[in-house]
Amino acid sequence: MPRETAWGIILKKYDKLYIGGSWVEPFGARVIEVLDPSSEEVIGTVPEGDRLDIKAAVAAAAQAFDSWSTAGVDTHAAAIERLQRGVLARQQELAETICSELGTPLSLAQSVQVGLPASVLGSFAQLVRQQKWEERIGNSLVVREAIGVVGCITPWNFPLHQVVLKVAPALAAGCTVVLKPSEVTPLTAFLLAEIVEEAKLPPGVFNLVSGYGPEVGEALASHPDVAMLSFTGSTRAGRRVSELAAQTIKRVALELGGKSANIILADADFKKAVSSGVQNCCFNSGQVCSALSRMLVPRERLEEAGQIAREVAEGLVVGNPRNSSTRLGPLVSAAQRDRVRAYIRSGIDEGAQLLTGGEEPPEGLDRGYYVRPTVFSRVREDMRIAREEIFGPVLSIMPYKDEEDAVRIANDSAYGLSGGVWSEDPARAERVARRLRTGQVSINGGNFNPLAPFGGFKQSGNGREFGKFGLEEYLEIKSLQL
């Protein structure tokens, strides 16, 4: 039964999985405890699924596929619109749940963690009606159709948004879905399953199995009846998913890590560019794959950039995510906090100049998984904090000698997910942006566009999400020779 914790949070206890349109008993008896990262208290439990649960979920999805894939565009769009209405109707509950299990400040949870996926649902309801499903080429009729059963494995940093980015286009395309959410923040996915049930989607179209990657994730990735696997997470885990999926030659879409560079050219509005860059790096406590965690500045303006960055970072309020003044909540777990602190130690040990932040917890926040916003300057290209994804509020400021050098440094990375360029000359900024080997570049702080494609080059993955590009990932192409 629900109870109040010391922090006033309702304990959510889920003991069933959502498979075949019903809440069913899992095959095993083990549970996963969900912690509030601000208090370290248990705030909920979900079942720890296993391979037998995945087998049942895939069977349900496969059984539902024929009727759902041929149900028609209007049926698919209407179902997604019902999901959107359901999300909006429970927006506050979803935001409070995300605030509690992830630590995102409540105001940001409302506007971004829930507001954005609600908008994305609406966009796919429209896009599926606009999609060109067939075309005549010579004596051939080329048709697009749903690829089949889709396995979705999602991360913890955007527990509703990353799910919707996969489930919405997959359902719109006519696919059926088996979702494995992160075991760290699974409560939001169970709320979404309740919304699916309320929206009366046909049985088996959406299935939810919670559990750990080595058991549930690997079973889903290797199942022969799964036609496609969409995964968002670490590059290491993405490699493993690809290996397993290759055994049955299934399509794989991967959105993986990043170490994105933010190039501030000499003619930029420095105060605006540096301030924006710090806030970008620290958004969601730095737990963003596309965070601009490398700030590249002209060597002669390194001290100026450092001073601005330090002032901005020190002005970011870290604290209880339920307080209206809080900009940065805790990191999601003790393991993540310790990982970020280890990178901060590495930066100090390797000789980077620590301008603000550090390993110690913020004052008065000894309980909870908090890390101070940290800014390093004089960061060399060979340092770990310059090359590896930290996934925390840690900014590395790196000097360059000229524009050519800036582009070289930015592209000297195993990753290629995002990037930024700042210049008072828009043509110059665009010229530099075109040279960056990355899937998305923000020019002078250009706003995020949920209809534009998002995805990476190199080890940041393959495939694209958002907009028509995200929908097309879930479609197969067939030629009818007439």
The residue written with tokens 């059963």 in the block is 149
Spatial CB neighbours of 480, under 8 Å, sequence gap ≥ 6: 140, 141, 142, 143
What single string gives the DSSP state of each residue in 166-200? HHHHHHHHT-EEEEE--SSS-HHHHHHHHHHHHTT
- Widest distance between CA atoms in the chain: 73
The Cα 397–Cα 372 span in angstroms is: 17
- For residue 381, what is the DSSP state? T
Q: CA nearest 343: which of 400, 286, 408? A: 286
The Cα 206–Cα 190 span in angstroms is: 12
175, 289, 465, 473: which one is catalytic?
289
Query: Token pair of 148, please?
Result: 């089949």
Q: CA nearest 168: which of 192, 185, 187? A: 192
Angle between the N-to-C axes of helices 161-173 and 73-89, in degrees from 0 to 180, rounded to the nearest 10: 160
255, 389, 465, 473: which one is catalytic?
255
255 noted as active-site residue:
yes
Among the residues of 302-391, which ranges form H helices? 302-314, 334-349, 384-387
3-state helix, strand, coil in the chain (%, to 5): 40, 20, 35
**Residue 121, Cα to own-chain centre: how many angstroms?**
16
Residue 403: how many CA atoms within 13 Å on its side-chain side?
A: 15
4 noted as active-site residue:
no
Q: CA nearest 391: which of 415, 421, 420? A: 415
Spatial CB neighbours of 228, under 8 Å, sequence gap ≥ 6: 147, 148, 149, 150, 151, 175, 250, 251, 252, 253, 473, 474
Residue pair 256/370 in contact by the 8 Å Cβ criterion: no
The Cα 454–Cα 397 span in angstroms is: 25
Beta strands 22-24 and 17-19 are antiparallel
Among the residues of 90-140, which ranges form H helices? 91-102, 106-108, 115-130
The residue written with tokens 């696997």 in the block is 229
Residues with catalytic function:
255, 289
